[in-house]
Structure 1
Amino acid sequence: MFKNVLVICAGNICRSPTGEHLLRRKLAHTGIRVSSAGLTAVVGHPLERHALATLQRHGQAPREHQARQLTPQLLQVSDLVLVMERRQLQDVIRLSPVSRGKTFLLGKWQNEREIPDPYRHGTAAFEHAYALIEEGADAWSQRLQPQR
């Protein structure tokens, strides 16, 4: 049973907090805790303004966010680690080799699809990333929910 899911991207201000929010909403009734962090986090920064605007355009109201740095301790307490890019898989494993078996792409169920970083690429890039993150979150949430 998964109790702690950690969503990771680079800066922890765009993709991972978006994934965190969407997964948390989808898993709200399961008791699974969802959080996020960044490999090169912009520590303490809020959700990037385009990421926030994209979430809001889709009817989402994310809680206040502060970016945080990924640490071996965060990986240790996580049962499932979801990253956006293949390179990030390797970065996580380098930081915590024992995390190999629990680290996957958020887009795993979409043919191992990567989710490109929309940072500094405008509204269209954020909309594209949001759509991919939402698909990945939907697929993971279906697999993480207990069967009835």
Structure 2
Amino acid sequence: MPTPGNITAFPALGKKTSVFHNILTVCTGNICRSPVAEYLLRHEIALAGRKADVRSAGIGALVDHPADDTALLVMDELGVPMQAHRARQIKVEHTRWADLILVMQSHHLEYVLSLDPTARGKTFLMGRWNKREIPDPYRQGDASHRAAYALIHADAAAWLARF
């Protein structure tokens, strides 16, 4: 994970044209992992001078709640504020909008595909390239949040290298 206040574009993210214009990140409550992934991807794509619309949702969202306090703190330390985030429940309209859906755990993948079978082929684990899931840090303490966000950062880099 980058040092606080020093987040820079991933080295592999060049100015090539992406096939992914609409990216959706998904977790459970949409207050920890998926908003961190959303804001981090959005930030890194913009730093690289590229364009994509990145959004997030949850399979059991705490609708209209702000991001978790620890998530806000960690992202502020990285210079990526996300105070504007409000949780939302995933809907078919979100999955149909997205070119790429990145989920944190296998049960999120199963939920998305049961909600919208047409999302098959564009829904993947965020940690696909690193062969892992990203555990839920909710109510698990600061260290769990930081560990999850470090995984998200590494997995975002792996995805962005393929755009």
Structures share fold, TM-score greater than 0.5: yes
Aligned ranges for residues 25-44 of structure 1 at < 5 Å? 25-28=43-46, 29-44=49-64
Report how far residue 143 of structure 1 moved: 1.1
Gaps of 5+ in 2: 1-18
Larger displacement relative to structure 2 (57-66 or 28-37): 57-66
Q: Which runs of 5+ in 1 are unaligned?
A: none
Aligned-residue offset at 1:81 = 0.2
Name the amino acid aligned to 2:86.
Answer: Q
Partner of 1:101: 121
TM-score w.r.t. structure 2 length? 0.85
Corresponding residue for residue 132 of structure 1: 151
Question: Which residue among 65, 75, 92 is the counterpart of 2:95?
Answer: 75
- State whether structure 2 residue 69 is matched by structure 1 residue 49: yes
Report if the CA contact (8 A) 2:30-2:87 is conserved: yes
> Residue 78 of structure 2 corresponds to which residue in structure 1?
58
Aligned to 1:92: 112
Letter in 1 for 2:22: N
Q: Percent of aligned positions with the same letter in both sequences?
A: 47
Give the superposition deviation at 1:50: 1.1
Query: Normalising to structure 1: TM-score of the pair?
Result: 0.93
2:130 maps to 110
Q: CA deviation at 1:55?
A: 1.6
Secondary structure class of the residue paired with 1:81: strand
Give the structure 2 partner of residue 12 of structure 1: 30
Q: Which amino acid counterpart does residue 20 of structure 1 have in structure 2? A: E
In structure 2, what is the Cα distance between the partners aligned to 1:31 and 1:58? 21
Structure number with higher helix proportion: 1
Between the aligned partners of 2:94 and 2:83, the Cα distance in structure 1 is 20
Q: CA RMSD in A?
A: 1.0
CA distance in 2, matches of 1:63, 1:142: 27
- 2:161 aligned counterpart, secondary structure: helix
